[in-house]
């Protein structure tokens, strides 16, 4: 027979009020939380989530909105958030939203109608209006990786401009003056920020940013592959290429292989987002790596703040994190070599 609150009380010596507070999303001492979880397992206590949600008018469910479900970076963040929140009894409902979807209602509406208490969004541009409406109705939103202009939400983002400045500084310090950028659509906030950071770094070093050496397109391997092919076939090709996300980096590396180029002898390359990809390339690709675990932890902390029993309205919070540039062998040192 399943256990009850009183069975947990006998096991722990804690008050029924403390046990109830824990199971209804309140904050309790860590030692008490561990004692309750252990006792619940010992007496086979299983909360009736449906009854609890009816009583508290809270579902203890977090909605997660993604642009798509095949992006490793986004899924890694969601995995970290889910793992962190599960021990608090918060479940996760994931929904993707592609601009080409032919459904009557959008993903934000879908999640709202299922009674989520809060929403973590890596917001697609076509869902921004729906997010604005949801926030106006009182839904608490945490945007991760991207910022929606004018949306009263918490945000957890990389210092994207700082990341690009660090990449450009690294290339310039090694003597590169003709630096190309392969980036994504302007309406994707991260891509806009990374290109702005690179542009500012070029200006700081008194380097021209030739529009012909900025390739933009969908965030796909095809864009990276075709972009690098076009760049190296220019009459005066760049000496280095900076790819601003994982798919673009992978596509550029595919082009390097297909064209029979040697890195860094023929072209220097800096990628983004994937330390494992850097590790399997020879020479190791210089890579800017995002702090995925820290981003997931920060988002989970903000969600707990919104979904706790003592949650209250507060101004939006912005968390900005720095990543790491991991040097490899893919950038030639032209500073100590004769000019090309």
Tokens of 14: 């804690």
User: pLDDT band at 54, cuts 50/70/90?
Assistant: very low
Which helix (H) or strand (E) segment holds residue 77: the answer is: helix 72-86
pLDDT digits (tens, 9 = 90+) for 253-285: 999 999 999 999 999 999 998 888 898 999 999
Tokens of 120: 């973590």
Tell me what the mean pLDDT of segment 279-292 comes to. Answer: 95
| Bridge-based pairing state of the strands 154-158 and 91-96 | unpaired
State the Cα–Cα distance between residues 205 and 176, nearest whole angstrom: 11
Distances (CA, A) of 284 to 278, 290, 326: 5, 17, 10
Tell me what the mean pLDDT of segment 292-306 comes to. Answer: 93
Least confident of 46-60, 198-212, 281-295, 324-338: 46-60
The 10 Å Cβ neighbour count of residue 338 is 5
The yes-or-no verdict on residue 25 having pLDDT over 80 is: no
Extended strands (E) in 58-212? 61-66, 91-96, 118-121, 140-144, 154-158, 179-183
Highest mean predicted confidence (pLDDT) among 109-113, 251-255, 333-337: 251-255
pLDDT digits (tens, 9 = 90+) for 168-211: 999 999 999 999 999 999 988 999 999 999 999 999 999 988 89
The yes-or-no verdict on residue 105 having pLDDT over 80 is: no
* Higher per-residue pLDDT: 194 or 50: 194
Question: DSSP string covering 126-140, please?
Answer: GGHHHHHHHHHTT-E
Domains recognised in the chain with CATH numbers: 5-47 (no CATH), 57-158+292-322 (3.40.50.2300), 160-291 (3.40.50.2300)
């Amino acid at each position: 027979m399943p256990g009850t609150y009183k069975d947990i009380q006998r096991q722990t010596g804690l008050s029924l009020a403390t046990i109830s507070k824990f199971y209804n999303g309140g904050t309790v001492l860590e030692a008490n939380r561990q004692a309750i979880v252990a006792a619940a397992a010992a007496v086979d206590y299983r909360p009736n989530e449906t009854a609890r949600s009816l009583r508290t008018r809270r579902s203890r469910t977090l909605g997660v909105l993604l642009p798509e479900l095949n992006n490793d970076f986004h899924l890694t963040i969601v995995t970290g958030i889910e793992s962190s929140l599960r021990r608090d009894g918060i479940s996760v409902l994931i929904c993707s939203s592609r601009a080409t979807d032919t459904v009557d209602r959008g993903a934000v509406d879908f999640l709202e109608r299922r009674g989520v208490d809060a929403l973590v969004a890596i917001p697609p541009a076509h869902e921004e209006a729906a997010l604005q409406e949801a926030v106006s109705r009182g839904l608490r939103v945490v945007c991760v990786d991207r910022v929606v202009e004018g949306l009263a939400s918490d945000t957890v983002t990389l210092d994207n401009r700082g990341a690009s400045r660090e990449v450009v500084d690294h290339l310039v310090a090694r003597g590169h003056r003709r630096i190309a950028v392969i980036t994504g659509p302007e309406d994707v906030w991260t891509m806009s920020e990374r290109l702005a950071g690179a542009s500012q770094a070029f200006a700081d070093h008194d380097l021209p940013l030739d529009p012909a050496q900025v390739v933009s397109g969908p965030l796909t391997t095809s864009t990276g592959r075709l972009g690098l092919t076009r760049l190296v076939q220019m009459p005066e090709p760049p000496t280095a290429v900076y790819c601003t996300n994982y798919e673009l980096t992978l596509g550029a590396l595919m082009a390097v292989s297909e064209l029979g180029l040697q890195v860094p002898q023929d072209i220097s390359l800096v990628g983004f987002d994937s330390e494992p990809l850097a590790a399997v390339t020879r020479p190791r690709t210089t890579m800017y790596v995002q702090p995925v675990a820290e981003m997931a932890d920060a988002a989970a902390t903000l969600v707990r703040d919104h979904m706790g029993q003592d949650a209250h309205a507060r101004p939006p919070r912005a968390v900005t994190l720095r990543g790491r540039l991991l040097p490899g062998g893919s950038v030639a040192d032209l500073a100590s070599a004769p000019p090309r």
